[in-house]
Amino acid sequence: MVVNDARAGGKTSQGVPLWLDDRATITRRAPLDSNITADVAIIGAGFTGLWAAYYLLKENPALKVILLEREYAGFGASGRNGGWCSAIFPVSLGRVEKLYDHNAAIELQHAMNDTVAEVGRVTAAEDIDCDFAPEGFVSLARSRAQLERARAQVASATAFGMPGQWSLLDAETASEKINADGVRGGVYTPHCALLHPDKLVLGLASWVESHGGVIYEDTAVTDFGHGTATTAGGTVTASVVVRATEAFTPEFPQYRRNVAPLYSLVVATEPLPEATQSALGLNTRTAFNDLRNLRIYAHVTTEGRLVFGGRGAPYHFRSAVSPEFDVNTKIHNKIVATMHEFFPSLADVEITHRWGGPLGVPRDWFPSVGYDRSAKMAWAGPYVGDGVATSNLAGRVLRNLITGADGELNRLPIVDHRSRKWEVEPFRWIGVNSGLQAATAADLEERITGRPSKISGMLEKLTGAH
């Protein structure tokens, strides 16, 4: 759907991700229309399902692997994200240490760092052109409180045993990377790449199909368990069924309280003139944000568009997910306002795309991967919005668990981690939305006091998120 953008006076693509512009059309694969058997049946053809299929077939080409997708491959978060493939883990290393141990936290971060490189290795080896650009990301400090947090972040990582994970930047160096308004400093990590999500989806799907995997689209799974997955067109009987349903997991009644879907919304501009890109430091493929509490994320695409996204959209009662939530005028306008706050000179630049989608959040914000062999069930996710890289790590863990291969990945704390369930409604709705409002209040507190927010500190203690 195309409508007029009231601010820019141009046309804005509402609800359709920028990434789909490179597809002339979305041609649907045939749905399942009979009862079949398989070695591995994967519910969901997003990054998790595709990476799992890739690594399984790479390990054992004789496996019969099928993917069951309700819409089309990459329909969910895998095709709606902001294009960051980062080593961010949604739970702080300190919280991982408390739940497991210090070495487990260190090994997890090393695995996340290597995962960014692994995505680059695979896409290069398989000739998947997804605009992969491993130039890292910078978190700008644009207030006194944010600068204090930047210093603490670098010191904390070093003290924890991860020197070099983050580098502290002074105002001049940070501004040379991204010349946003009011930059006082920042932190930088090399462990992040940018990519075109839909191109990666298409490349992985093509590889899977060319190596014997089968993807059924328009095939909604209505029930699954103990080696079976039921659809309107037929039932799949498999040695193992993999649940790779991310934010859509609560749509299965038995998992209603396992995952809370939160919406992340994104905008994209028209291609920026080269002179504008150069003046603002937007002529590289470095990902960036600032150190506010309510997360934002941004980068410039290969064609010079500024992609700018953020959290803040409300959680919907009973974990509801709907295409109508992909566009929220109030939140999208706030994201555009934040972009203009970063770059006042872009105030008249046309916004050409507004879209969004749900991401999955477990009760303790801790992603997990597991396999219950006796129940013939495996799972991966949710990833709390950091799934572009983590789904690759999950795919390799699933390969090991399902094939019985041993490896260091099998001992990471995400393996068989169990999160407790979310509260029943309306307490879940009250709690999640109160948390979102608290993050907004934390940023307001910092603007008033000039110091790191006490509200933010309490939130991190409650959730472990950072």
Res 13: pLDDT: 76
10 domain residue, yes or no: no
DSSP tag of 343: -
Q: Which residue has the tokens 């306008």?
A: 333
C-beta of residue 201 within 8 angstroms of C-beta of residue 161? no
List C-alpha distances in Å: 457 to 52, 274, 452, 462: 36, 41, 8, 9
Domain CATH for 321: 3.30.9.10
Same domain, 266 and 403: no
Instruction: Count up the domains in the chain and report the number.
Output: 2
C-beta of residue 203 within 8 angstroms of C-beta of residue 74? no
Segments of 327-417 assigned E as strands? 351-361, 369-372, 377-380
Same domain, 50 and 72: yes
Beta-ladder partners of 370: 379
Q: First and final CA of the chain: distance in angstroms? A: 36
CA distance 342 to 287: 14
Helix (H, G, I), strand (E, B) or coil at 221: strand
CA distance 238 to 373: 12
Domain assignment of residue 295, given as a range = 133-195+260-363+426-463
Same domain, 304 and 335: yes
How many H helices and E strands in the chain? 11, 20
C-beta of residue 269 within 8 angstroms of C-beta of residue 335? no
Domain CATH for 75: 3.50.50.60
Same domain, 125 and 232: yes
Q: 248 is written with which tokens?
A: 């859509």
Name the residue among 296, 35, 335 with its Cα closest to residue 142: 296
12 domain residue, yes or no: no
Same domain, 120 and 164: no
283 domain residue, yes or no: yes
Beta-ladder partners of 214: 66
Same domain, 221 and 281: no
List C-alpha distances in Å: 33 to 63, 73, 232, 233: 21, 18, 8, 4
Burial of 275 (0-12, 13-18, 19+ CB in 10 A): exposed
Q: 343 is written with which tokens?
A: 């770059």
> Which residues, 6 or more positions from 6, have their beta carbon under 8 angstroms from its beta carbon?
none
21 domain residue, yes or no: no
C-beta of residue 198 within 8 angstroms of C-beta of residue 125? no
13 domain residue, yes or no: no
Same domain, 359 and 295: yes
CA distance 458 to 456: 5
98 domain residue, yes or no: yes
Q: 286 is written with which tokens?
A: 């470095």
Q: Encode 384-420: b = buried (16+ Cβ within 10 Å), e = exposed.
A: bbbbbbbbbbbbbbbbbbbeeeeeebeebbbbebebe
Q: Report residue 134 CA to chain centroid gap.
A: 17
Same domain, 62 and 126: yes
CA distance 116 to 128: 15
CA distance 228 to 238: 6
Res 461: pLDDT: 66
Name the residue among 371, 357, 461 with its Cα closest to residue 417: 371
User: Can you spell out the DSSP letters for 236-276?
Assistant: EEEEEEEE--GGGGGGSGGGTTT-EEEEEEEEEESPPPHHH
CA distance 372 to 364: 21
Q: Is the pTM for the entire model greater than 0.85?
A: yes
Same domain, 287 and 356: yes
DSSP tag of 133: B
156 domain residue, yes or no: yes
Same domain, 430 and 353: yes
Q: What is the pLDDT along the chain (466 residues), one digit of tens a residue?
A: 333 333 333 456 789 999 999 887 888 999 999 999 999 999 999 999 999 999 999 999 999 999 999 999 999 999 999 999 999 999 999 999 999 999 999 999 999 999 999 999 999 999 999 999 999 999 999 999 999 999 999 999 999 999 999 999 999 999 999 999 999 999 999 999 999 999 999 999 999 999 999 999 999 999 999 999 999 999 999 999 999 999 999 999 999 999 999 999 999 999 999 999 999 999 999 999 999 999 999 999 999 999 999 999 999 999 999 999 999 999 999 999 999 999 999 999 999 999 999 999 999 999 999 999 999 999 999 999 999 999 999 999 999 999 999 999 999 999 999 999 999 999 999 999 999 999 999 888 888 888 888 887 776 766 656 6
Res 10: pLDDT: 42
Segments of 116-248 assigned E as strands? 137-141, 167-170, 185-189, 192-194, 214-216, 221-225, 228-231, 235-243
Q: Is cis: bond before 358, omega within 30 of 0?
A: no
CA distance 217 to 219: 5
Same domain, 274 and 358: yes
15 domain residue, yes or no: no
Same domain, 318 and 380: no
